[in-house]
Amino acid sequence: MEYSKEHEAPFSSPSLPSNKWWSKDTVAIVTGANKGIGFAMVKRLAQLGLTVILTARDIEKGHKAIEELRNQGLDDVHFFRLDVSEPASINTFVSWFARIFGALDILVNNAAVSFNEINENSVEHAETVIKTNFYGAKLLTEALLPMFRLSHSKSRILNISSRLGSLNKLKNPNIKNVLQSENLSETHIEAMVSLFLQNVKNGTWERQGWPELWTDYAVSKLALNAYTRVLAKRYMGRGISLNCFCPGFTQTSMTRGKGTHTADDAADIGARLALLPPEELPSGRFYLSGTSIVNSKL
């Protein structure tokens, strides 16, 4: 995924549509949402009148987050425990969702982990990072795909990603060629991830041309971006839009509170992207937030 810049707009755009297509019956799921960008996304979507399911690994923290939102007058928010790194947890969540709600309109795959400080680059927890950030989003998406409401307003998947996972961070020409191929498949992506984990195990990862900053996190987002591109192509014209959004250097626990803007700022942009009018809704795009919004192809 290269950043061929196609569109720039002020940080606060795109603007919300004047005639909103959503209602209280519009259902959104946000993962990893007891704090940070996920929590802010739940809050913003609920403020705009959607029904939102907040998920988190920690039950106590999830309930506390819901209580905070309801104290702000946001009643159409719900919590269910979900650890996207555990297939059994995904199955339990999806069964509950199917029983209680039945149909889904928006999925925001936000849950992610990183174990590095800002200037560190350890791969000690690479397997956990890949399992959560890539496979977690992938398995949850696959489990929920049959439940998306196929309507004129289009269902939407917004994957919270990172510019660290862009192809221009990858120095290995063979892997880059595979990821740029028009015939890219999930098998190719999983083979790339397996190769990276094998390089980590045998201690050669630093010499294989992988991204140099937050390498395990970057590879997980490289895989997520590629997977989004594959699914966007597969579901083109079938009522589901899939895009990636990099919120930029945001003040969250992952950045130890450092950043150029708040989680609320990032969530405002994310919500606007998730709620684009059906006639303006693209698929297979990468949105980069900062002092402007950069919109490019995956």
155: Cα separation from own chain's centroid: 15
Amino acid at 248: G
Measured CA angle at 90 (ends 88, 92), to 5 deg:
70
- Written as six digits, the tokens of 154 are 């289009």
d(CA 73, CA 155): 27
- Burial string for 268-281 (b: 16+ CB within 10 Å, else e) reads bbbbbbbbbeeeeb
Query: Catalytic residue at 217?
Result: yes
Q: Which residues, 6 or more positions from 147, have their beta carbon under 8 angstroms from its beta carbon?
A: 94, 97, 98, 102, 103, 104
- DSSP string for residues in 100-146: HT--BSEEEE--------TT----TTHHHHHIIIIIIHHHHHHHHGG
- Which residue in 3, 135, 217, 287 is the catalytic one? 217
Residues annotated as part of the active site: 217
